[in-house]
Amino acid sequence: KMAEKQEEPSNTQNGEPENAEEGEGKKKKLKREDLPPFEIVTGERLPAIFFKFQFRNVEYSSGRNKTFLCYVLETQGKESVTSRGYLEDEHAAAHAEMAFFNTILPKCESSLRYNVTWYVSSSPCVTCADRITETLKKNKNLRLTIMVGRLFMWEEPEMQAALKKMKSAGCKLRIMKPQDFEYVWQNFVEQEEGEEAKAFVPWEDIQENFQYYEEKLAEIL
C-alpha cells in the first residue's frame, strides 16, 4: 500500500484536483519529488531528530515554529478502518490542523462515525482553533481528541477564549504525558532499519513540564 501511494503523482483521492486547497500559496507548481513529504503516506514516520526537537514540551519554544501533527483516524461504518500518518505544515498554505481537514478528512459522511486523535507538538493557533470548533459543530459524527506537547500563546485572552470554544464544541484537549510521548515515538517516529527499536528516552524535565502545562490548561478550561 505504502509504495503504491508514494508513486501516485497526485492527490486524486476524493476526486479533488491536486492543488485545490493547499496549493493556493504556491507560486508555481513544484514537482512532488522536490518537496519533503507534506502529503500523507499511510505508515509515514517522522525523523527522530524532528521528534526530539519539535515535540519537546519546553516552556520557551524558540525555533519550534512548525507544527507536527500525528493522527490516528478511526472510521466506524459496517467495518472499522483505522489509518494513521503525520502532517507537518511547511509546504502547505495552511497549518497542519487545517491541512488535516483539507486533505485527510475533507468530508465526513453522515452514515459513518469518525474518532480522531491528534498528537501535536503544540496547541492550535486561534484561527485553527476556530476552524476545529466550526468543523465539530457541523459534524456531530466526528469526535476529536487533541494531545498537545505544549500550549501555544496560552496567556493571550483570545487564545484562551478559542480553546474554551473548542472544548464546548466537544473537543477533548489534553497535555501529553510522558507515556504519550513514548506512544508517538513508537508509532510515528522512524526507527533505524535492521536495528532493535530504540527505547524512548525521556528528557530531564518531561514530567515537570507536563504538570506545568496541565495546570495552565486546567485554569484556562
Residues with Cβ within 8 Å of residue 7, at least 6 apart in sequence: none
For residues 195 and 87, what is the distance between their CA atoms, to the nearest angstrom? 26
Yes or no: say if 108 and 139 are a contact pair by the CB < 8 Å rule. yes
| pLDDT for the residue numbered 68 | 82
164: enclosing H helix or E strand: helix 157-168
HSE of 6, CA atoms in CB hemisphere, 13 A: 8
Q: Which residue has the higher pLDDT, 171 or 121?
A: 171
| pLDDT for the residue numbered 49 | 66
DSSP, collapsed to helix, strand or coil, labels residue 184 as: helix
71: enclosing H helix or E strand: strand 68-76
For residues 212 and 149, what is the distance between their CA atoms, to the nearest angstrom? 11
Q: Nearest CA to 178 among 204, 155, 156? A: 204
β-sheet bridge partners, residue 107: none
For range 70-88, the mean pLDDT: 90
Q: Sheet containing 113-122: which strands, arranged edge to edge? A: 80-88, 68-76, 113-122, 142-150, 172-175
Catalytic residue among 22, 44, 88, 97: 97
| pLDDT for the residue numbered 37 | 42
Q: Nearest CA to 106 among 36, 169, 15, 44? A: 15
Give me the phi and psi of 109, to 5 degrees please: -70, 135
Map out the domains of the chain as residue ranges: 41-190+201-220
Q: Nearest CA to 126 among 86, 90, 156, 93? A: 156
Specify which of 30-44, 95-109, 167-181 reaches the highest per-range mean pLDDT: 167-181
For range 169-189, the mean pLDDT: 93
| pLDDT for the residue numbered 61 | 52
| pLDDT for the residue numbered 44 | 67
**CA 48, 68, 178, 150 torsion: positive or negative?**
positive
Q: Which residue has the higher pLDDT, 129 or 61?
A: 129
Is the per-residue pLDDT at 76 higher than 90? yes
From residue 193, alpha-carbon distances to 70, 112, 180, 189, 198 in Å are: 21, 37, 23, 12, 11
User: pLDDT tens digit string along 16-43?
Assistant: 344 444 443 333 343 434 444 444 333 4
DSSP 93-143: SS-HHHHIIIII-S---TTSEEEEEEEEEE---HHHHHHHHHHHHH-TTEE
Q: Which top CATH class is 41-190+201-220?
A: alpha beta
User: pLDDT tens digit string along 139-151?
Assistant: 999 999 999 999 9
Specify which of 3-17, 34-48, 67-81, 87-101 reaches the highest per-range mean pLDDT: 67-81
pLDDT band at residue 88 using 50, 70 and 90 as cut-offs: confident
| pLDDT for the residue numbered 147 | 97
Is the per-residue pLDDT at 64 higher than 70? no
Ranking 64-68, 167-171, 204-208, 214-218 by mean pLDDT, the lowest is 64-68
For range 102-118, the mean pLDDT: 93
State the chain's mean pLDDT as an integer: 78
Is residue 97 annotated as a catalytic residue, yes or no?
yes
